[in-house]
Amino acid sequence: MTLPAPPTIRRLTYADLPQVIAIERRAFPTPWSLAMFVLELSKPAGVCLAALDAEGAIVGYCICSRYDTVWHIMNVSVSPERRRTGIATALLSTLLERVDEAEPRFTLEVRTSNDAAIALYERHGFRGAGLRRRYYQDNGEDAVIMWRTPATLRGTLDDIPNAVDPLRRAV
């Protein structure tokens, strides 16, 4: 099987939202509403990215908002039929490159059962540093709170207050 060409990554726009909503509904048991995407796109300090295939169709997206001194990755999604083809990696890599700060701090929540996403984030320097109990409304699943900071890039959780590695993995 030949893998598809790497996606083109560009800024997500309001015009992209019909395709984004279609992916969101297929990808998540409790999808975001159109209003949630509009709100995130309207924030001046956010970074919202779209991944396009060779035909120009959106196959993934990433929503990241800045809160004070921390970037919160709110949503990373890939069309279910295009998962495991490097799209999420391309989106995350582009996001990390576009945040033009000396030592940016990122955080996100991910389902404890989502091993593929956790592995993706760990490859990009994120480390589990806490747990949000019953975070997901659809089934009450816990979320791992992950951080990417100067310390996590050095292999510690030293610069994250009250950090506890919920995954019990070596850092």
How is residue 32 written in tokens?
């975001």
Distance CA 162, CA 171 (A): 16
Based on the residue annotation, tell me whether 109 is a catalytic residue of this protein: yes
| CA pair distance 56, 80, nearest whole angstrom | 17
Structure tokens at 98: 């576009």
Catalytic residue among 81, 121, 122, 135: 121
Nearest to 23 by CA among 42, 51, 1, 54: 51
Can 40 be counted among the known catalytic residues? no
- In the set 109, 122, 135, 136, the catalytic residue is 109
Please, are residues 72 and 108 in contact by the beta-carbon 8 Å criterion?
yes
* Residue in 99, 104, 37 with CA at minimum distance from that of residue 74: 37
Q: How many CB atoms lie within 10 A of CB 34?
A: 13
Active site residues: 109, 121
